[in-house]
């Protein structure tokens, strides 16, 4: 199995055939809002196996970025903060 809680979640995230998405930078799982935008409804449990999903790191990311002197959308934000690398490195 890969990085998600079960084989079903792994398959649906990778194959993109179901409206579930994973945002690695924020460690968030959600269901797409089908209004043509990029909004999602966060989910806290896997719809297939019922396991609790990790807590979102969105607020932590914004605090970290502001602490480094950046604002959302700043083109100078270092690349490691634009992916899951920032929280994976902190957990090593």
For the entire predicted model, the pTM comes to 0.85
Q: What is the pLDDT of residue 49?
A: 96
- List the alpha helices (DSSP H) in 1-92: 7-15, 58-67, 85-90
Q: What is the pLDDT of residue 67?
A: 96
Q: How far apart are CA 77 and CA 64, in angstroms?
A: 11
Residue 21 tokens read as 């998405």
Q: Rounded to the nearest 5°, which phi and psi values hold at 86?
A: -65, -40
What does the pLDDT average to over 25-38? 93
Q: Which is higher by pLDDT, 91 or 47?
A: 47
- Contact of 4 with 22, CB cutoff 8 Å: yes
Q: How far apart are CA 57 and CA 55, in angstroms?
A: 6
């Amino acid at each position: 199995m890969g990085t998600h809680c079960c084989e079903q979640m792994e398959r649906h995230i990778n194959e993109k055939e179901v409206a579930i998405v994973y945002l690695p930078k924020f460690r968030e799982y959600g269901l797409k809002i089908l209004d043509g935008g990029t909004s999602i409804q966060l989910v806290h449990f896997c719809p297939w196996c019922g396991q609790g999903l990790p807590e979102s790191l969105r607020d932590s990311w914004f605090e970290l970025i502001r602490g480094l002197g950046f604002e959302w959308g700043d083109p100078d934000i270092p690349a490691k903060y634009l992916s899951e690398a920032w929280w994976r490195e902190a957990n090593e």
